[in-house]
Chains A and B, each alone.
Chain A
Amino acid sequence: MSNANTPPPGPPSAAPTGPGSPQDVPPPRGTFPIDPATLPDPIRKEIEAPDPVAIDTGADELKDGVNRCPKCGSTEIRQKPGTDMLVCLYCRNEWQSGRVEEEFGLGEGIDQLHGTVIASGARDIAADAAAMMTFKCSGCGAEVTVNTANAMTARCHWCRHVLGVNEQIANGAVPDAVLPFHIKKDDAVARIRQFVDKRRLFALKEFKEQFTPENVVPVYLPYMIVDANVGAGIAGQGEIKTREYTRGSDNDKKTYYDADVYQIDRHVDFTVDDLPLESSTERGNLDTKVNTNNIINTILPFDTKNAVKWNASYLMGVTSEKRDRDVEQLRPRLEDQLLSIARSQVEDSVKRYDRGVRWEQESLDVHGTRWVSMYLPVWLYSYHQPGSNGGMLHYIAVNGRTGETMGSVPVQQWKLLTTALTVGTFLEGIALWILGHSS
């Protein structure tokens, strides 16, 4: 007999029902159960205010799986090196995806932006969306898997057709646009070599021994390109010097200053065009104590005006990193950067405060933002330096469009310390010599 204290087993937990449960068919987008005209003004205004607009950047002409050359039907499509063109390896037909700037009007009307406009490739990532995607090869019917975490194309191992992920899926892997590589591998290798050649004297011995810039890899990294229309207010105190004078005897002269103190307020309205933000959590962590992601951050900006509509063929043979951050997660970072821009904008207006300004308060009024997700091209060379906490991964990065190069070269600490101490001792020797001869 069962223990009387044990509660009887309850009914099997029922699937959630009622309004708002996942079984309910959602109402049509933009509808409201009550006629808004019957509601008080403030509520009606709120309801009738425009929803965040998603610009549909999906390409109807492209489907997941086999993408054929528009002329001959082959799937052997590559980016023509150094250009934004796609080329068919069979019939040599060349064509190009449209530039998103013109196709979706991304460069226009930033000063008219209101609310949050999100392009369809920048929409929130669904929590259950998997990075692994399987689709049927339309060439032979075999199932082919693409891990969208690091690749957007795959070759069917049966019929050798190239398959690409082109439809925007809720896992964040398909962006609105892609900026094709212009810098070729030879050029990237030469730039990395030149960069490191300027930093050999104190570089880690193992780094120098294992340095093979030919191992540089092309990677498409995910970014959100943001346009913003904002107003910012800043307040603080500034000082203007009115008098400077010295007091004291010859050996004990001290300089004193008189100054006027002002309370300063500044306001500036501005628009920002194409501000890039890392939309990968790992890349967005710019803590130089634990990683060298600031190197990749430094090679920004890109000529994002020339980005073309997404086409997986641009990524053939190139790895990519999937976006894992949504618009709302990036908003604090954006606001921080907008405030920084505001502060730099007002700098000229406080030049007359020759003793400096201490800003104490700032405010930001974001009228509107527009978010477009983009894959940007980076040549990446990396070296792992062993050490505590997993060591440090040093990057040397080349901007795949402008060629801007930045890197972190690991340092041979004992060599650097010895040199610094030697120079310090030499300087100290000079100091002691001067002191000895002057007294």
Chain B
Amino acid sequence: MSDGGGLWLLALGPAGATGLYWALYRYYRNTDKSHDFEHETKVDAKPVTGSNRKVDEITGTREKRIRGDNVHAYRQRVQRIRGDTS
């Protein structure tokens, strides 16, 4: 067995303890819950329009996802372009 594999196994105890603590804490206190208005509100959307333009190529990265991936983090606000709000 490699050293990397061994070290990973040693983290099992602390990771298991922390994971269980947070999972149970949230189950009791429900601090992560809120109104899922993105899906529970009636939204009538017209077809999405837009453009896709290839701008670059990456070779040999070790990262599994794009850096700063926020495609699922709807509520995380990014730079707001103003001037078109009526």
Contact = CB atoms under 8 A, between A and B. Distances in A.
A427 B12 contact: yes
Nearest to A422: B17
Contact of B66 (A238, A269, A272, A425): A238
Contacts of A366: 85-86
A416 B85 contact: no
Given A269-B45, A355-B66, A356-B66, A261 B37 contact: no
Contact of B63 (A257, A300, A364): A257
Interface string B53-86: 1111111111111111111101101111110111
B50 to A, nearest CB: 4
Contact of B2 (A251, A288, A430): A251
Interface string A402-439: 00001111110000110111011101111110110011
Task: Give the interface SS of chain B, mostly helix, strand, loop or mixed.
Answer: mixed
A97 to B, nearest CB: 23
Nearest to A395: B30
Interface string A257-268: 111111111111
A63 to B, nearest CB: 36
Interface in A258-294: 258-276, 286, 288, 292, 294
Nearest to B57: A260
Interface residues of B, number: 70
A424 B65 contact: no
B44 to A, nearest CB: 5
B81 A300 contact: no
A420 B17 CA distance: 5
A261 B58 contact: yes
A424 B16 contact: yes
Given A111-B44, A263-B54, A408-B29, 9 more contacts: A259-B61, A260-B57, A274-B41, A295-B33, A298-B30, A341-B38, A365-B86, A416-B21, A435-B1
Interface of B: 1-2, 4, 6, 9-10, 12-14, 16-18, 20-21, 24-25, 27-31, 33-35, 37-46, 48-72, 74-75, 77-82, 84-86
11 contacts: A199-B28, A255-B62, A257-B63, A257-B64, A344-B38, A358-B70, A359-B70, A365-B85, A365-B86, A406-B30, A417-B21
